[in-house]
């Protein structure tokens, strides 16, 4: 149906909150062309079988050249690019924060940057307007400038106490902050749980780019896998395999290897190498599906790959996650280093 709508309407912009929606659709069109074009083929060959209201909708969204494009799709035995069935598309808008980079990379194979412009959607709050887009020539900024909203910020890591609140003009370039919003009188504060980085200053106001949710562990495509859910999985493993997991540390990190299309999660067993890994990844995957309906849905629809399970010694883990600028035990940050972790634990 999406292919049918796009071919008839020929829009100028594609929009989806999460890029995985567009990426999965374009992947499906390319990989399962005959099934994807089936509706259009019926539309061209048997238009009388369609309900009158459906034909009325098609007439309302019709655009110039739609008949020719529909015929091309119906007659082609091999998949056609977006530029053929929806040549009017010039840009696409989606979320670029969090861990969605694998889907953004996949989108670029269908929507090359030299033809299609990516418009990032940094603000997603349903409670209020978090940022207002500011255009100055070719430069785009995202400023806390909505009318009737009071903006305050907490530096990442600071306790949720009013003594730590900062005004927009007090933010420092390069630092991360969570946003607190309230009405024009400041009588009701709301912690959005959204983390922004102050990229620059525009007339004294911070140019904010959305990074992630504060309380969210990981989310490639809206599955919102939390620490609590993973702890339940770890506890289940320790119950089933008390000897193997008694003195071992378990952790999880998002995995986007260069050689695979689908992002997935890797659970790492630290401190114990004498463990049979057969079936453990699948078992963890099944546990997470039971705990997280969104994760299960994304696995079933092919947006996420299965969980992998790996082991590493304590010494190797410390070496992989240590940082020359800080002690590993005082500031443990696995995410910026997980590329090396993936390569060394595969």
Beta strand pairing call for 249-255 and 264-270? antiparallel
pLDDT in tens, 225-272: 877 788 888 888 888 888 777 666 788 878 776 556 688 888 888 776
pLDDT confidence band for 184 (50 / 70 / 90): low
Of residues 243 and 59, more confidence is placed in 59
Tell me, what's the pLDDT at 342?
46
Q: At what angle do helices 66-75 and 2-9 cross, to 10 degrees?
A: 140
- Per-residue pLDDT, averaged over 266-291, amounts to 83
d(CA 308, CA 329): 26
* Contact (CB, 8 A) for 253 and 263: no
The model carries a pTM of: 0.56
pLDDT confidence band for 139 (50 / 70 / 90): confident
Percent over 70 (pLDDT), the chain:
82
DSSP string, 243-288: HHHTT-EEEEEEE--TT-SS-EEEEEEES------TTHHHHHHHHH
Tell me, what's the pLDDT at 337?
36
Tell me, what's the pLDDT at 335?
40
Which are the contacts of 339, defined by CB distance < 8 A and separation ≥ 6?
Answer: none
* Contact (CB, 8 A) for 223 and 274: no
Reply yes or no on whether the pLDDT at 158 is more than 60.
yes
pLDDT confidence band for 275 (50 / 70 / 90): low
- Per-residue pLDDT, averaged over 178-196, amounts to 79
Tokens of 161: 């106490």
Which are the contacts of 183, defined by CB distance < 8 A and separation ≥ 6?
Answer: 148, 149, 150
Beta strand pairing call for 91-94 and 13-15? parallel
- Per-residue pLDDT, averaged over 204-211, amounts to 89
Strand, helix or coil at 84? helix
Residue whose structure tokens are 């090359």: 112
d(CA 135, CA 138): 7
Tell me, what's the pLDDT at 84?
95
For the chain, the distance separating the N- and C-terminal CA atoms, rounded to the nearest angstrom, is 40
Strand, helix or coil at 194? strand
């Amino acid at each position: 149906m999406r292919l049918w709508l796009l071919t008839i309407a020929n829009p100028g912009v594609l929009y989806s909150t999460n890029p995985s929606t567009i990426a999965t659709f374009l992947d499906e069109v390319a990989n399962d062309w005959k099934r994807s074009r089936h509706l259009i083929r019926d539309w061209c060959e048997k238009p009388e079988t369609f309900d009158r209201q459906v034909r009325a909708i098609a007439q309302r969204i019709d655009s110039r050249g739609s008949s020719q494009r529909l015929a091309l799709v119906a007659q082609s035995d091999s998949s056609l690019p977006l530029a053929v069935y929806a040549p009017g598309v010039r840009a696409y808008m989606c979320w670029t924060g969090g861990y969605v980079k694998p889907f953004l990379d996949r989108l670029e194979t269908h929507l090359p940057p030299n033809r299609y412009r990516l418009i990032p959607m940094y603000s997603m709050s349903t409670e209020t307007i978090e940022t207002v887009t500011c255009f100055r020539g070719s430069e785009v900024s995202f400023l806390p400038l909505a009318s009737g909203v009071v903006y305050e910020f907490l530096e990442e890591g600071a306790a949720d106490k009013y003594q730590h609140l900062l005004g927009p003009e007090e933010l420092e370039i390069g630092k991360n902050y969570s946003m607190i919003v309230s009405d024009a009188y400041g009588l009701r504060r709301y912690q959005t749980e959204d983390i922004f980085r102050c990229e620059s200053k525009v007339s004294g106001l911070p140019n904010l780019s959305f990074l992630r949710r504060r309380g969210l562990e990981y989310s490639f495509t809206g599955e919102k896998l939390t620490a609590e859910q993973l702890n339940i999985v770890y506890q289940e493993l320790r119950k089933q395999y008390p000897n193997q997991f008694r003195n071992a540390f378990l952790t999880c990190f998002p995995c986007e290897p260069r050689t695979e299309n689908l992002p997935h999660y890797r659970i790492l067993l630290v401190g114990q190498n004498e463990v049979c890994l057969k079936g453990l990844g699948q078992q963890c995957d099944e546990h997470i599906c039971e705990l997280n309906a969104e994760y299960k849905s994304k696995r079933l629809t092919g947006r996420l790959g299965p969980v992998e399970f790996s082991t590493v010694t304590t010494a190797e883990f410390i070496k992989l996650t240590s940082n020359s600028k800080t002690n590993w035990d005082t500031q443990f940050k696995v995410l910026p280093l997980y590329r090396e972790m993936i390569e060394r634990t595969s």
